[in-house]
Structures are given as structure tokens and as C-alpha cells.
Amino acid sequence: MNTKIRKIDITNVDSSIIIEAANIIKHGGTVVFPTETVYGLGADALNEKASKKIYEAKGRPSDNPLIVHISDKRDLIKIVSHIPEVADMLMEKFWPGPLTLIFNKTKDVPKGTTGGLDTVAVRMPNHPVALELIKQSGTCIAAPSANISGKPSPTTGEHVIEDLDGRVDMIINSGSVGIGIESTILDVTCNPPMILRPGYVTVEMVKEIIGNVAIDNFQESDKPKAPGMKYRHYAPKADMVIYSGETSKVIEAINSIAKEKYEKGLKVGIIATEESQMLYKYGKVFSIGKRKSEKQIAKNLYAVLRAFDDMEVDIILSESFSEGDLGYAIMNRLVKASSNNIIKI
């Protein structure tokens, strides 16, 4: 397939590119577009054949449902059968933005979009290109992260091109996204509502609006409520180990393992922080940002994992980060990327 690649400047959006992309969506094709969290691989959510193309392009298991993106709350009437009061409060506070809500679906949403479920995940992205594309398409756009299934989510146009050039009809490249980690998923069909995937909107932020919130046992469970959480995910090609404990001891342990691997002739990658990067003596060291800046760490996380893929390292050794606020989502992704390979010091 010949993929059209278009560059767009988000401070001055070229409407002819949006119209071109919207026409592809209207005709049942696939378009990769930027959102504020990560790039999404979009198609018409109400057209089962179009949704199927998303699964094919990503190599995604068909039981893993897609998030439906809207540009206007009025679109909800088409796709959601009931809007609980808590959802209204959350939409008012966080939309457009990185919060996905799970609702009961209407008949108009094909099961091919929801992985066979009677519920539908919906979010309104906070990005001018995404919002304009949805509006001009005149439909709702189903879009998972625009990576090949299992790989880290794409946070730059280059990441997308590397994974999906030749597999989709069009890629809109607008450079780096702002947040870098996916939306929080909250199921509002149950009481209390339940977090199915931690994300940029933290548990504390949700609690502040609606009080009580449950958290799915996605870390340990074989049957997480968001089907996607069961798959190996966000994963670089190399084996990855996370060291957790007091930072100075973690650095010492990583240095010692890095030396051992290096002496065996292995290529080692180390995920460090701005403060610690100078303290490592072996391997290729990348800083993920300042230890205290969770926003920086979230933004750099997937790019660092992909950079190690490009360098073809054999093993990645990573520091761990605080689990508070946004740190909870960061550690969730790191732990998944390592397939739960954590060593406590």
C-alpha cells in the first residue's frame, strides 16, 4: 500500500491536509493522526470494515477493543446508551483531554470496533489536528496507539513512519506529542467507577471530582478489565530489567550488572535520570529526564525505549521511579515493558 505522508504545523493547521485525511476516513480508509497523548491509528468507528483495517495494520488481536474519539459531546448520543452523572462531571473537567470513559454502547457501534464487547471506550482528544479531523470526517474515529502491536506507543512522526509506512493510507506528522503516555481509562458503567489503565489524569485527580474510585487489579490479574492490559506491551526488543530500591544502591547494582554483561560482549542500555547519568561507567546511557519531573519522564519514556531498539542493545537496565501521581502510570508502562522483570534491592 502506498502511504501518503503529510507534515502539518500545529500552530498553523493546513486545512487542505485535514480535508484530504477526512476524505480517506469517509471512504473507509486509515489515517494516523497526532493526539496530545500519543499518535493514533484512525478509521471510521461506525464502519466495521474500516475498523478491521486498524487491526490488520497493527497486527492487533481482534478481542482488544478500540477507543472511539469524538470532537463534540453531542456525538455521544450516537454511540452511548446511557451517560451516568459522574461521567458528566468528569467530561466537564477533563474533556477535551487524556481521560477515556467506558460506557454502554448503542447498536450503531459495531462489535468489530469494541472487540465484541457491549461497552465502548470514548475520549475527546485535546489536539487541534485530531479535533478538526474528527469534525471534518463527520463520524467518530476509532484509534488505538499507532504502533505495531506490542511495541512502545509512538510519540513522534518518525516512530509512526517506522512502524506503519506502507500499512495505512495516510500519516499526518506533526512532530512530537505533548504528553507521551496514553490516556487514563475509567469504567463508568460500574459503581464506584474503576480505573482500568492508569494514565496522565491521575487517580487523585479523578477522586477530587467524583470521590470514590476503584482500581482494577491489572498488574497481577490474568483477566484485566481492559483486554489490552493482558498483552505484552510497550515493549522494546531487548530484555529489560527494572531495579527498584534506594537510588544510590540501584545505581551501584546497575553498574555491577552492566560491567558483567559488557565483559561478556553484550550491548547494554541503561535508563538513567539527568542526575544519575554521569554515574554509569558501562553501556549506552540515556537520561529519561529529571527524577522529580514526572511530566518529562512520561514524555521521554517511549522514545528512550525505541532508541534502544534502534541501537540493537541486548539488555536494558532501568532505574525505577516514584509511584505517586503520574509516577503510577509511568511505572505501570515500565513494568509492562519489562514483562514484570523487577529486582528489588
Distance separating alpha carbons of residues 180 and 200, to the nearest angstrom: 9
Smaller CB distance to ligand TXA: residue 267 or 336? 336
Q: For ligand TXA, what does the binding mask look like between residues 10 and 49, x meaning CB under 6 A?
A: -------------------------x-xx-x---------
Q: Can you tell me which of 29, 193, 228, 283 binds ligand TXA, judged by CB under 6 A?
A: 228
Name residue 11's amino acid: T
Tell me the site size for ligand TXA, rule CB under 6 A.
30
Q: Where would I find the H helices in the chain?
A: 15-26, 48-58, 76-79, 85-94, 128-137, 157-164, 203-210, 247-263, 294-310, 326-337
Residue 67 touching ligand TXA (CB under 6 A): yes
Q: For ligand TXA, what does the binding mask look like between residues 236 and 265, x meaning CB under 6 A?
A: ------------------------------
Report the site for ligand TXA in 46-65 (rule: CB under 6 A).
64-65
Smaller CB distance to ligand TXA: residue 145 or 287? 145
**How would you label 270-292 residue by residue, b for 16+ Cβ within 10 Å and e otherwise?**
bbbbeebeebbebbebbbbbebe
**DSSP structural state of residue 211:** S
H-run or E-run covering 196: strand 194-197
State the minimum distance, in angstroms, from the CB of residue 187 to Mg ion.
17
Residue 276's binding partner, choosing from Mg ion, ligand TXA, none, with beta-carbon cut-off 5 to 8 A by kind? none
Question: How far lies 101's CA from each of 41, 95, 98, 126, 163, in Å?
Answer: 19, 11, 10, 15, 28
Residue 142 touching ligand TXA (CB under 6 A): no
Do 149 and 59 touch, CB atoms closer than 8 A? yes
State the minimum distance, in angstroms, from the CB of residue 236 to ligand TXA.
17
Distance separating alpha carbons of residues 145 and 125, to the nearest angstrom: 13
Can you give the binding site for ligand TXA, defined by CB under 6 A? 35, 37-38, 40, 64-67, 98, 100, 102, 114, 117, 119-121, 125, 143-145, 182-183, 185, 196-197, 225-229
